[in-house]
Amino acid sequence: MAQDEDNHEPLDLRHSIDSIGNEQSPLIRSDSDDYDNAHSSRWKSSALRPLGMMITCFLLNILMEFGLYLITIPLSQVLEEIICRGTILPDIPTANDPRCKDKTVQSELSLIRGWQATFDIIPGLLTALPYGLMADKYGREFVLGLSVLGGALTSTFNVLVCLLPNFFSPRMIWFSSAFGFIGGGAPVFNAITFAILSSVVSEKQRSIIFFYITATLIGSQLLASPLVYLLININTWLPMFCGLGCLWLATVLAIVLPRTFAEKQRQQHSDTTLPNKIESPMTAREQLMAIGTATMWFARGNILVTILLLTFLVTTLGRLAQDILLQYITKRYGWSWAQATIPYIILIL
């Protein structure tokens, strides 16, 4: 008996404790626990730091606002010059000839810019919901990259039309709005940006971050206004090419973003169900109907918030009126488009 007892190997206490667990461990381990642990460790290994995502979103907004602002005012001057050459003055001695302030030229310029602003809104209205569904499925960074790419292509087409006035009519810039269907334009870009920022900051910090990004946009306009004044006096095309450089730099920055949020969203969705439970995916029509139902439910339960959201319509009209104001200043006081940016700085302040 003594020899039999001596033949038994001693117990490995560390192995026993690890296999049994501590007093807080559940008695029965389920497969879903292993599934959650595996996915949580995978997410921790591939997650991007929130600070890096915030910096990237801020840089994208600065580059986009800066680039679009550098293009907008010189583009109006070039269009005015092209219209003037095609209607009353085939050979213009200077780019700011007072005779180009004729009613015929200014009416055509207002027609082109007004309809272009209208056409630019259409892609965002038609594609906001589809791109929202795409962001949930393929990742927000993917849709953000498409939106920035569409904006860069739109501005590039506008500059190309103005570079080749002998081949393209000035009204051809209306077709640049078609590139807005790539990414949904400014509405989708703003929505995806705020969605990404909401995901990487806490609820207490969201309002502060949103104020910061709005202040960043205003600061970009303040810096771009004197830069336009300086560059446009050197050469009309110089600020336009600089603006295109900013837009394409933003495109590269948006495209190289890692696709981490798509993985996080798929993980959060899979964590709500057990691995052996398979749910049938919703069709696109069912998803749109669900979004419509949720929107109606939200509007009925939050009347004040709904009224507040309607004020964005007035804000959009105010932004569109800025181009008209600049054109009025140049015609009323005989100023150049570069000089018209000076009171516009005061307006921004």
| Neighbouring C-beta atoms of residue 272, cutoff 10 Å | 8
| Residue 88 C-alpha from the chain's centroid | 41
Rounded CA-CA distance 155/157 in Å is 5
From 152, 140, 178, select the one nearest 252 (Cα to Cα).
Answer: 152
Rounded CA-CA distance 117/120 in Å is 5
Domains held by the chain: number: 1
Q: What is the pLDDT of residue 1?
A: 46
For residue range 50-77, list pLDDT tens digits in order. 777 888 889 999 999 999 989 988 998 8
Q: What is the pLDDT of residue 47?
A: 44
Residue 24 within any structural domain of the chain: no
Residue 27 within any structural domain of the chain: no
Rounded CA-CA distance 43/58 in Å is 24
For residue range 155-196, list pLDDT tens digits in order. 999 999 999 988 999 999 999 999 999 999 888 998 899 888
8 A C-beta contact, residue 162 and residue 272: no
Domain that holds residue 117: 49-274
In this prediction the pTM is 0.74
Residue 348 within any structural domain of the chain: no
Q: What is the pLDDT of residue 274?
A: 41
Q: What is the DSSP letter of 93?
A: S
Rounded CA-CA distance 263/136 in Å is 10
Compute φ and ψ for 296, nearest 5 degrees: -65, -40
Q: What is the pLDDT of residue 24?
A: 47
- Cβ contacts of 126-134, under 8 Å, gap ≥ 24: 126/181, 127/181, 127/184, 127/185, 127/188, 128/184, 128/187, 128/188, 128/191, 129/288, 129/291, 130/284, 131/183, 131/184, 131/188, 131/192, 132/188, 132/191, 132/291, 133/284, 133/287, 133/288
Residue 64 within any structural domain of the chain: yes
Residue reference for tokens 């906001």: 128
8 A C-beta contact, residue 220 and residue 66: yes
8 A C-beta contact, residue 116 and residue 154: no
Residue 347 within any structural domain of the chain: no
Residue 189 within any structural domain of the chain: yes
Q: What is the pLDDT of residue 118?
A: 86
Residue 316 within any structural domain of the chain: no
* pLDDT tens digits in sequence order for the chain, 349 residues long: 444 444 444 444 444 444 444 444 444 444 444 444 444 444 443 344 577 788 888 999 999 999 998 998 899 889 988 888 887 766 665 667 777 788 888 889 889 988 998 898 899 888 988 898 888 888 888 899 999 999 999 999 999 999 998 899 999 999 999 999 999 988 899 889 988 888 888 888 888 888 888 888 888 888 888 888 889 888 889 999 999 999 999 999 888 765 544 455 445 545 444 444 444 566 666 666 777 777 777 677 777 777 777 777 677 666 677 777 888 888 888 788 888 777 767 766 6
Distance between start and end Cα atoms, the chain: 97
The CATH code of the domain that includes 246 is: 1.20.1250.20
| Neighbouring C-beta atoms of residue 46, cutoff 10 Å | 12
Residue 120 within any structural domain of the chain: yes
